[in-house]
Structure 1
Amino acid sequence: MCPYFGIHALLIVTVTLSPATATTWSEKDTTEDEYPPLWDLAPENLLDFPVKNNKIIINPWNYPERLGIYKILLNSSAKYFASFGTQNFGNILWGLPLQHGWQFRTGRLADPSHVTSCGYEDGDALCVSERSWWSSMNYYLAVIPFLGAVDAGLFGQLQYQIEILPPEERKADFCLSVADCRSRMPKLVDEWKDYFEYLLSTDNKAMNSVVFSSFNLDEALGLMWRAHVTSIAYALPKFKDRLKYFSDPEASFGKDWSIAVDFIAATHFSTDLQNVNHFQTFLPPRMLVKGDVPPNISDFSPQQNRVLLSLRALNKANRISGGLLLKLWKKAMSTEEGRKIGRTMIEQLMSS
């Protein structure tokens, strides 16, 4: 394999997808469209969920309830990002609910086998199907971070225990409590716990309750992305069989996307509200179907076609190199200065 092919593919992806730095937002810079769908319906605090037998009951197989997990995480961590913009727009956890919202809006959370009406307008439109590869993967980027935050003490001393409801099928694929998850995937739980404990540690160190001088955005991004890629690495082999329900183009896109996240993560891409919203305009606006061949998908924008093609090239280049391309990229991005240089290079390429 020509090494320049792999590097060129990588640069196309990063240039197309990655704003280089976080940007401070003001209130006028956002609209309702830039929040995940049905954001106002999502629970805002833990007691908005049903309480039964001294337990807070959360059903992550309902779209607004899973969205509520994210909303609570954002609300509970807002003060740590106060210096990065108003209304919590600079919070780097925005990437998770916005991705979940994109999955919902594009039909990726519905039952791809069509055995049930889960996720469809003529059935339970707000249902999240455990048969969906996207929703199953997303569980490990929703419930696991949430339980890591519980374990870290982000919500303080809880009045009630937390009970996560299982899906109807293949319950063994999903852990349901801090103890359950820790017994089955301790490294993953610890990495999400580490991220939230870092936020809490900056609170404890700060001399001023408003200005968190010990907070380092690059360090926080590093911890968050480390946990993020571990979640994907743990879930990928577990849910590989769910790809069979998808068309070949959609299954390929899912695999390409999961590899691309490793490259994006290495740059400590800032997953604030603005960056992720800009980034997601380049993602497919619907499920891919048989016959969709980028760069010639007629109802996709040229940029969306180019991203799909670039993701495929990146995955292929990395696979042919035996993973060497990703190793080299991670090495180049292993220092803060290296990541800054990488982002500067991306900015220059974007403007050329």
Structure 2
Amino acid sequence: MYSSLFGKNFGISYYVIIMYFLAAIESDFLGNLPYEVELLPREEYRSNFCYSVEECRAAYPQIMDIANRLYKYLQSRKIVSITRGIPQYDTDEDTAIFKMWVAHQAAIDVAKPKFSDVSFYSSETERDFTMDFLVTAEIFEAVLYRPYFESSAELLVGFPHRLLTDQDRNVLTSNFSRREKALITVTKLTTKINKSTGMIMIYTIHEA
């Protein structure tokens, strides 16, 4: 989702993805695996990440617990019917999506300050876009945005096809599509409104 490979953007994405994955293993959501799963680290970046259930559990127990709650809930569902051989479960969609977004935000909250010291890998404009999008994602969480494949794919069409440079700060060049320009503009505007209202927009949505 984010484009700077070893800077702030990649680090935040890593934590969101890896916590979901390792929590799925720890909770036995993926079944009783006959082997341990450990990612192979690049040694020069090893201290910035965790690479196994044991490592992440020791370093970030709260995030692992939150992600585990999502999978435990999904495992607690009961089959209510079977349609063409496919079981239908008694899942409360709002509950599942709420637990998913809470886990997503918890990983972001840990990763953002962790990677503030490596933000020089991308331009200021790229870094600003990343943070603008994270504010937008927090609003998605608050309104329980349904991250279905179709809706997510439609949103991701607007992601910039390349790293933003400081030359893109005021005027986006013509090689950006209308969807890309729209997403960049909307996320920037969302952050401005949120700041100008003293973060009240997000707080209000959360309390609604």
| TM-score, structure 2 normalization | 0.89
Tell me how far apart the structure 2 counterparts of residues 259 and 240 of structure 1 sit (CA, whole Å).
Answer: 16
Structure 1: runs of 5 or more not aligned: 1-98, 111-130, 333-352
Equivalence for 2:128 = 252
1:141-160 equivalent positions in 2, closer than 5 A: 141-160=16-35
Equivalence for 1:314 = 190
Matched, 1:303 2:179: yes
Q: Is the 8 A contact 1:295 1:302 kept in 2?
A: no
Q: Which runs of 4+ in 1 moved over 4 A?
A: none
1:295 Cα deviation from its structure 2 partner? 5.7
Deviations 1:226-257 (A, max 9, x none): 10111111100001122212112111111111
**Identical pairs, percent:** 26
1:270-285 equivalent positions in 2, closer than 5 A: 270-285=146-161
Tell me how far apart the structure 1 counterparts of residues 169 and 41 of structure 2 sit (CA, whole Å).
Answer: 37
Pick the aligned partner of 1:264 from 140, 146, 153: 140
SS of match in other structure, 1:169: helix
Equivalence for 1:200 = 75
SS of match in other structure, 2:37: strand
Tell me how far apart the structure 1 counterparts of residues 80 and 180 of structure 2 sit (CA, whole Å).
Answer: 47
Matched, 1:231 2:104: no
1:207 Cα deviation from its structure 2 partner? 4.6
Equivalence for 2:199 = 323
Q: Is the 8 A contact 2:142 2:202 kept in 1?
A: no
Deviations 1:274-303 (A, max 9, x none): 111111122212111121135643222233
1:172 Cα deviation from its structure 2 partner? 2.2
The worse-fitting range, judged by mean Cα deviation, of 321-330 and 223-232 is: 321-330
Counterpart residue identity of residue 26, structure 2? D
Pick the aligned partner of 2:13 from 129, 138, 153: 138
Deviations 1:70-118 (A, max 9, x none): xxxxxxxxxxxxxxxxxxxxxxxxxxxxx3xxx4xxxx254xxxxxxxx
Report the structure number with the largest CA radius of gyration: 1
Pick the aligned partner of 1:171 from 17, 30, 46: 46
Counterpart residue identity of residue 115, structure 2? F
| TM-score, structure 1 normalization | 0.54
Tell me how far apart the structure 1 counterparts of residues 139 and 171 of structure 2 sit (CA, whole Å).
Answer: 22
Counterpart residue identity of residue 166, structure 1? P
